[in-house]
Structure 1
Amino acid sequence: MTLEWMAWTLPTAVFFITIVVILTAMTVWQVISPCVVRRGLLPIATTRGDRLFIGLLGSAYIHLAWIGLTDYTLWIATGIALVWMLAVMRWA
């Protein structure tokens, strides 16, 4: 019986390290400056953590749709996802 291990490429490692850094920064930010619930771009009341989760989830869907529907480079989807993430974090 052989075990199959996930192939940790540099982009995969950078992705997960970035998520850990973002979560750590958000935790420190919450401890230093507790957030208030607000309404903005999204029609629901959200906290910083909610907006981060919605932004990350939306970014994942943008990438999946891009991969499934186009043959263009993934860097364009990354740019769109960054704009989405910034919009959600700033105005949502």
Structure 2
Amino acid sequence: MQWMVWTPVTAWFFVFIGVMLCCMTVWEVVSPTVARKGFLPIVTTRGDRLFIGLLGSGYICLAWLGLTDLPLWYGVGIAAAWLVTVMRWG
């Protein structure tokens, strides 16, 4: 039987996602969200924007890997900027 190899970077990625979800839960309990419309063409809540931002960030990283030979860290920077933009103004 083969096991999935967890590198430290992979483990920290999933820890980061879990911490973000826990923080969003606490934030929701302390200050309930109000649905609003930003630059996205739909009305969204904080959780919606987090999901859209994470999904978009994943696609940005995959496109970066598939379309360029540059280091992935540049793509991660663009993906992080996308996530922050969606969370703030989405």
Q: Does the pair score TM above 0.5?
A: yes
Q: Which amino acid aligns with 2:4?
A: M
Between the aligned partners of 2:39 and 2:86, the Cα distance in structure 1 is 7
Give per-residue Cα distances to partners, 1:27-74, cap 9 Å, x unaligned: 000000000000001010000000000000000000000000000000
Structure 2 runs not aligned, ≥5 long: none
Structure 1 runs not aligned, ≥5 long: none
Between the aligned partners of 1:11 and 1:41, the Cα distance in structure 2 is 32
Q: What is the aligned counterpart of 2:28 among 25, 30, 39? A: 30
1:56-75 aligned at under 5 Å gives the runs 56-75=54-73
Which structure has the larger Rg over C-alpha atoms? 1
Between the aligned partners of 1:43 and 1:77, the Cα distance in structure 2 is 25
Between the aligned partners of 1:4 and 1:72, the Cα distance in structure 2 is 31
Q: Percent identity?
A: 63
With the length of structure 2 as denominator, give the TM-score of the two structures. 0.99
Q: Which amino acid aligns with 1:36?
A: V
Alignment length (residue pairs) = 90
With the length of structure 1 as denominator, give the TM-score of the two structures. 0.97
| C-alpha RMSD of matched pairs (Å) | 0.4
